[in-house]
Amino acid sequence: MRSIATMFLTHLSCTSCGLRHEWSALQNLCTACQKPLFAVYDLGAAGRALKREALARREKSLWRYREVLPLPLDIAPISLGEGGTPLLPAACFGAEIGFPNLWVKDEAQNPTQSFKARGMAVAVSMAKHLGATKLAVPTAGNAGGALAAYAARAGLEAHIFMPNDTPRANVIECRELGAHVTLIAGLITDCGAEIARRKEKEGWFDLSTLKEPYRVEGKKTLGYELAEQFNWELPDAILYPTGGGTGLIGMWKAFEEMEAMDWVGAKRPRMFSVQASGCAPIARAFASGASSAVEFLDARTCASGLRVPKAVGDFLMLKILRESRGGAVTVDDETMIHTTREVGAKEGIFVAPEGAACFAALQSLATEGKIKPGERIVIFNTGSGIKYLECYEP
């Protein structure tokens, strides 16, 4: 008799020192070196169990990639219909600036209106499965809303720490979804420090991005979806609005997994990190040739998702930007704000400032010759402008 595996996840591996960790216990950073852990799958078996052609018949959510996600196959996910977002041509905006083959992945169409839903759906599903009851997260805004929603749906407590200048919509959303919200006079890094100080005593499981292994698993589905939507040919360049970098790191992981399963070839998109001029630790480190990023002091930008002065995955991002022969660009707030209206008026999408930053970055990348007319280029609109009304009011 043939035994049926209930999952293809085999273990967790440290992205820096390689130390193996068990997936079956709640894990945060590597116990030896305090760097992020990655989920490792038996991709040979996963690729035999799931053929890419079979995906067309599956439900249109990220759980369609179930064989390469960590939750055992017989456990029901905590889901609100995340993933399966449209990849839209941005032909009008693109034509205007000489890029006829421009696309936007509209992540605002996720539950809670941002791509944070992808990471939280998978992380909360796993945290509940592994026995956590109280979840805590530091957030610049959208991660809080997503955690509040999935924790509520899972019947778990959510403890959310936000800077006191987080967009109002995010704060109200978290409260109305039943979360415990604490506003902190400081940045997301100060919120993270507060959780670290209290989590042991309070019994909280820390869901900070890349400080547990499964938010990146949810966000890697961005890479799977892109490949599927482009009929298994990856684009030439990707522009990603970068805070903690989880989506960028996740997509790169997805490309490697898909190649191992023979779903895509060896071609990789050039990966470009887009940051705000007021908070650009990765762009600064990229320019200086450094392999890790120093904290960006006095960080400020209205694109709250980009207000991450220090990211635990910095070394992974910098490696990807260089390996892919991509780069890093900065955009100031004023440019983001007026680009929002250009995109809105031309494409009918009310983008978040983070998404607008990527549209604005096209121009400088073109001027520097880093992207070329006719290349297939993908922008991520990671959230909705509707959550940022303060930014758009004169």
Ligand X SMILES: *Cc1c(COP(=O)(O)O)cnc(C)c1O
Site residues for ligand X per CB under 6 A: 114, 116, 142-143, 209, 241-247, 305, 352, 354, 382-383
Which region among 14-22, 55-63, 121-129, 334-342 touches Zn ion (by CB under 5 A)? 14-22
Q: Taking CB within 5 to 8 Å according to partner kind, which of ligand X, Zn ion, none is near residue 116?
A: ligand X
Q: Which two tokens stand for residue 101?
A: 């083959």
Residues 6+ apart with CB under 8 A from 339: 356, 357, 359, 360
Task: Determine if 32 is a binding residue for Zn ion (CB under 5 A).
Answer: yes
Among 7, 12, 14, 71, binds Zn ion (CB under 5 A): 14
Shortest gap between Cβ of 371 and ligand X (angstroms)?
20
Nearer residue to Zn ion within complex by CB, 18 or 178: 18
Q: From CA 82, how far away is CA 60, in angstroms rounded?
A: 9
Q: Taking CB within 5 to 8 Å according to partner kind, which of Zn ion, ligand X, none is near residue 245?
A: ligand X
Task: Determine if 33 is a binding residue for Zn ion (CB under 5 A).
Answer: yes
- Inter-residue contact 127 to 153 (CB < 8 Å): no
Among 17, 95, 172, 287, binds Zn ion (CB under 5 A): 17
Tell me how many residues contact Zn ion (CB under 5 A).
8
Shortest gap between Cβ of 57 and ligand X (angstroms)?
30
Shortest gap between Cβ of 243 and ligand X (angstroms)?
3
Tell me the torsion sign for CA atoms 42, 51, 232, 102.
negative
Nearer residue to Zn ion within complex by CB, 32 or 345: 32
Nearer residue to Zn ion within complex by CB, 32 or 73: 32
Identity of residue 36: P
The closest alpha carbon to 313, from 280, 283, 282, belongs to: 282
Shortest gap between Cβ of 247 and ligand X (angstroms)?
4
Nearer residue to ligand X within complex by CB, 43 or 317: 317
Long-range contacts of 59-67 (CB under 8 A, 24+ apart): 59/84, 60/84, 62/118, 62/121, 62/122, 62/218, 62/221, 62/224, 62/225, 65/221, 65/224, 67/8
- Inter-residue contact 358 to 269 (CB < 8 Å): no
Nearer residue to ligand X within complex by CB, 27 or 142: 142
DSSP character at residue 31: T
Task: Determine if 95 is a binding residue for Zn ion (CB under 5 A).
Answer: no
Shortest gap between Cβ of 209 and Zn ion (angstroms)?
18
Q: Taking CB within 5 to 8 Å according to partner kind, which of ligand X, Zn ion, none is near residue 14?
A: Zn ion
Buried b (16+ CB within 10 A) or exposed e, 136-145: bbbbbbbbbb
CB-count exposure of residue 197 (10 Å: 0-12, 13-18, 19+) = exposed
The closest alpha carbon to 254, from 105, 41, 110, belongs to: 41
Shortest gap between Cβ of 33 and Zn ion (angstroms)?
3
The closest alpha carbon to 239, from 357, 121, 80, belongs to: 357
Task: Determine if 20 is a binding residue for Zn ion (CB under 5 A).
Answer: no
Among 7, 30, 121, 147, binds Zn ion (CB under 5 A): 30
Q: Taking CB within 5 to 8 Å according to partner kind, which of Zn ion, ligand X, none is near residue 209?
A: ligand X
Task: Determine if 311 is a binding residue for Zn ion (CB under 5 A).
Answer: no
Q: Taking CB within 5 to 8 Å according to partner kind, which of Zn ion, ligand X, none is near residue 352?
A: ligand X
Beta strand residue intervals within 131-287, DSSP E: 134-138, 157-163, 180-184, 205-206, 237-241, 270-276
Beta strand residue intervals within 262-382, DSSP E: 270-276, 327-331, 377-381
Q: From CA 7, how far away is CA 43, in angstroms rounded?
A: 11
Q: Taking CB within 5 to 8 Å according to partner kind, which of Zn ion, ligand X, none is near residue 142?
A: ligand X
List contacts with Zn ion (CB under 5 A).
Answer: 14, 16-17, 19, 30, 32-33, 35
